[in-house]
C-alpha cells in the first residue's frame, strides 16, 4: 500500500468584512478577507512540484467553511505551443516557452454538485467559483501578509455605466428552417456515436497592437490574460465534450498586421483573409480569435455561424472589454459557439433559469448552453461534419505527466473516463485507465459498443470525387484520405 503523507499548510482562517476596496477586478462594494488553508495529499517522500496536479484549499465564505478542490487543466497547452511577437523592425520572433508545470486549474466546491471553479494558482488563488448558485471571485490582496485573499460576489463588483452590447453575427450556412430538437432528428446509431465522440479544437489567440498599448507592452500580462480566458473556455465547453487546446499566441507588438477598426465585420473579414494567407501556413490550428482592445461598434464580438475548420471563416473577434477574465472568456465562448453552428438564443430557449452562453444583451456571464444551442450544434455537426475537430492530439502532445482520471488519454493509458465515481463508460476501467477485458476500444468513429467496426465500414463521407473514409477493422480511429464537406 502506498503511504500517503498529508501535508497541511496551516494558516489562520480569519474572515474580515470590508465595505469597499479597489481590486484588480475593479471597485468592489462588499468583500471578505480570507486566509486559505492548503491541504495536499502526496506520496511519502515524493518531491513536491511547483504546481501540483491536484490541490485542496479550505477557507470560509460568509462564516461557513468551504472546501475547494482543484485539478490542473493538463490539456490546456499543446506540446508545440508557441508564442510569436515582433521586433521593432518587424521581424517575427517565435518562442516555445515551457508550459508543462503551469498553474491553471478547474475545480469544484465539496458537497455542492452544481459548483464549478476556474482558478490560477500562479501567485496565490485568482479566479472564480460558483457556490450555491452564486458567482464568487477570489484574488490575492497586496498586503504585507501575502496569504490574505479577497472573496466577493460578482454582484458586488461595480459595473461600468454603459449601454449593454453583446454580439453581432455573420451568417455562413443556411439555418432559417425551424430547429428540430435532438429527439426529433431521427438520428441513426452512427450519428449518435459521432455526436458523443470527443471533439478537439486547436486554438490560436492573436492580440492586436491596441492590446499591446493597453497593457503597456507587457507581453507577460497579455499571455496571462489569455491563459486564464482559455482555461475558462475549456470549462464551458465540457458540456459538449469538446476539449480546447491552446496551440499558440501571437502578439502584434510592433504594429497590426491587418487594419483593425471599429467596424467589426470589416475587421473580421480581414482577419480571416490574413489567417488563410499567413497564419495557417505557419501554425497548424483549427480556429483563431482576434483579441482587440479597440472599441467595436455596438458589439463585443463577431463570428461566422457554422464555419469551423474553414480557412477564412473559422475565426472570431473579441473585445477585451472587462477587467474580469471570465467576462472576456464569456464572449470568446459565445463567438466560438457561432463557429460551431449556434445562433443567438430566442425567448423560448432556456438554461433552467441560469444565463445562457448564446443569449445576447445580458449583464452577467454564462456557463451553460440552452436546449436550442445544443440542438443547433448537433444539427450543424451532423450536416457538416467539420473534420478538423476530430483530430485527436497525440498522447505525446500533452505536456503534463499522465494522470488517470482527468478525462484525457495520455501516454500509457488506453482510456480515461474520469474519476471512478463519475465514469459512466462501459468500456473503460476508471481505476486503471485500461480497457475492460474483452473490449477493444472506448471511443472513436470506428468504435461501436467497445469493439472495432468491421473493415470497410464508412466512417467519414467525402466530398466530390474522393472516396469515403472507411474503418480498417484494427483501430477505433477513422483514417483520413479525402476532402470533406
What is the DSSP secondary-structure string of 172-221? Answer: -S---SPPPPGGGS---HHHHHHHHS-EEEEEEEEE-HHHHHHTTT-HHH
Contact predicate 435/414, CB 8 Å? yes
Angle at 169 between CA 164 and CA 170, to 5 degrees: 155
Is 128 marked as binding a ligand? no
Q: Can you give 130-180 as a three-state secondary structure string?
A: EECCEEEEEEECCCCCCCCEEEEEHHHECCCCCCCCCCCCECCCCCCCCCC
Closest by CA to 228, choosing from 258, 210, 205, 209, is 205
CA distances from 32 to 57, 74, 144, 262, 469 (A): 16, 31, 17, 39, 58
Q: Can you read off the three cell numbers belonging to residue 153?
A: 460576489
Cβ-contact 268, 170 below 8 angstroms: yes
CA angle 155, 368, 237 (to 5 degrees): 120
Which set of grid coordinates corresponds to residue 7? 501535508
Neighbouring residues of 419: CB distance < 8 A, sequence distance ≥ 6: 405, 430
* Contact indicator for 320, 330 with CB cutoff of 8 Å: no
**Which residue among the candidates 202, 250, 270, 335 is catalytic per the annotation?**
335
102 is in an annotated binding site: no
Residue 335 among the catalytic residues: yes
C-alpha cell recorded at residue 297 = 461598434
User: Rounded to an integer, what distance in angstroms lies between the CA atom of residue 347 and that of residue 337?
Assistant: 18
Find where cell 426529433 sits: 184
Distances, alpha carbon 145 to alpha carbons 56, 140, 346, 383, 405, in Å: 21, 10, 49, 57, 36
Distance separating alpha carbons of residues 7 and 41, to the nearest angstrom? 6
How far apart, in Å, do the first and last CA atoms of the chain sit?
54
Backbone torsion region of residue 414, taken as left when φ is above 0, otherwise alpha when ψ lies between -120 and 50, otherwise beta: alpha
344 is in an annotated binding site: yes
Quote the Cα angle for 396-291-364, to 5°: 100
- C-alpha cell, 234: 475549456
Distance CA 341, CA 172 (A): 9
Nearest to 56 by CA among 42, 71, 39: 39
Q: Which residue numbers are catalytic?
A: 335
Residue numbers in the known binding site are: 334, 338, 344
Residue numbers in the known binding site for Zn(2+) are: 334, 338, 344
Amino acid at each position: 500500500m502506498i503511504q500517503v503523507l498529508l501535508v497541511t499548510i496551516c494558516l489562520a482562517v480569519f474572515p474580515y468584512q470590508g465595505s469597499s476596496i479597489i481590486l484588480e477586478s475593479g471597485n468592489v462594494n462588499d468583500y471578505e478577507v480570507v486566509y486559505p488553508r492548503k491541504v495536499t495529499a502526496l506520496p511519502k517522500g515524493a518531491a513536491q512540484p511547483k504546481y501540483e496536479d491536484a490541490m485542496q484549499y479550505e477557507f470560509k465564505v460568509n462564516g461557513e467553511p468551504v472546501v475547494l478542490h482543484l485539478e490542473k487543466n493538463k490539456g490546456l497547452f499543446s506540446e508545440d505551443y508557441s508564442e510569436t511577437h515582433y521586433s521593432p523592425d518587424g521581424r517575427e520572433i517565435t518562442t516555445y516557452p515551457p508550459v508543462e508545470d503551469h498553474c491553471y486549474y478547474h475545480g469544484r466546491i465539496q458537497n455542492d454538485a452544481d459548483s464549478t471553479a476556474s482558478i490560477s494558482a500562479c501567485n496565490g488563488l485568482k479566479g472564480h467559483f460558483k457556490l450555491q448558485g452564486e458567482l464568487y471571485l477570489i484574488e490575492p490582496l497586496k498586503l504585507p501578509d501575502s496569504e490574505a485573499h479577497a472573496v466577493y460576489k460578482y454582484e458586488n463588483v461595480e459595473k461600468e455605466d454603459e449601454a449593454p452590447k453583446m454580439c453581432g453575427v455573420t451568417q455562413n450556412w443556411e439555418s432559417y428552417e425551424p430547429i428540430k430538437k435532438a429527439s426529433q432528428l431521427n438520428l441513426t446509431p452512427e450519428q449518435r456515436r459521432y455526436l458523443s465522440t470527443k471533439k478537439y479544437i486547436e486554438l490560436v489567440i492573436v492580440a492586436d497592437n491596441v492590446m499591446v498599448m493597453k497593457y503597456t507592452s507587457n507581453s507577460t500580462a497579455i499571455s496571462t490574460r489569455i491563459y486564464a480566458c482559455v482555461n475558462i473556455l475549456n470549462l464551458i465547453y465540457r458540456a459538449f465534450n469538446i476539449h480546447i487546446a491552446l496551440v499558440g499566441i501571437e502578439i502584434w507588438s510592433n504594429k497590426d498586421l491587418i487594419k483593425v477598426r471599429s467596424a467589426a465585420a470589416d475587421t473580421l473579414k480581414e482577419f480571416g483573409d490574413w489567417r488563410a494567407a499567413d497564419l495557417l501556413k505557419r501554425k497548424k490550428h483549427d480556429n483563431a480569435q482576434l483579441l482587440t482592445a479597440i472599441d467595436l461598434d455596438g458589439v463585443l464580438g463577431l463570428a461566422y455561424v457554422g464555419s469551423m475548420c474553414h480557412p477564412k471563416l473559422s475565426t472570431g473577434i473579441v473585445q477585451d472589454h472587462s477587467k474580469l477574465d471570465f467576462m472576456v472568456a464569456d464572449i470568446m465562448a459565445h463567438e466560438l459557439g457561432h463557429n460551431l453552428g449556434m445562433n443567438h438564443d430566442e425567448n423560448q430557449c432556456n438554461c433552467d433559469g441560469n444565463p445562457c452562453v448564446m443569449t445576447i444583451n445580458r449583464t452577467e456571464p454564462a456557463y451553460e448552453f440552452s436546449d436550442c444551442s445544443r440542438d443547433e450544434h448537433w444539427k450543424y455537426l451532423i450536416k457538416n461534419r467539420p473534420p478538423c475537430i476530430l483530430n485527436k492530439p497525440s498522447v505525446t502532445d500533452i505536456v503534463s505527466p499522465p494522470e488517470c482520471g482527468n478525462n484525457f488519454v495520455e501516454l500509457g493509458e488506453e482510456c480515461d473516463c474520469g474519476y471512478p465515481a463519475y465514469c459512466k463508460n462501459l468500456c473503460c476501467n476508471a481505476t486503471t485507465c485500461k480497457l475492460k477485458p474483452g473490449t477493444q476500444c472506448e471511443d472513436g468513429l470506428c468504435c461501436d459498443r467497445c469493439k472495432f467496426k468491421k473493415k470497410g465500414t464508412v466512417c467519414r463521407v467525402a466530398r466530390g470525387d474522393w472516396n469515403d473514409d472507411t474503418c480498417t477493422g484494427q483501430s477505433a480511429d477513422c483514417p483520413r484520405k479525402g476532402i470533406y464537406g
